[in-house]
A = this chain, B = another copy of it.
Amino acid sequence: MDEQHRSGCPINLALEVVGDRWSLIVIRDIIFGNRRHFRDLLTHSEEGIASNILSSRLKTLLDEGIITRADDPTHKQKGVYSLTEKGIELLPVLAQLAAWGYKYLPVTEELGIRARLLHEGGPKLWAEFMDELREMHLGQKRKHKGPSVFAKLRAAYEAVVAKKKRK
Contacts and interface: CB of A to CB of B under 8 A. Distances in A.
A16 B28 CA distance: 15
A96 B98 contact: no
Interface residues of A, number: 46
Contacts of A103: 89
Contacts of A105: 10, 13-14, 17
A60 to B, nearest CB: 14
A106 B12 contact: no
Nearest to A122: B123
A101 interface: yes
A15 B25 CA distance: 9
Nearest to A25: B12
A98 B10 contact: yes
A92 interface: yes
Interface of A: 5-17, 19-21, 24-25, 28, 46-48, 86, 89-90, 92-108, 111-112, 115, 123
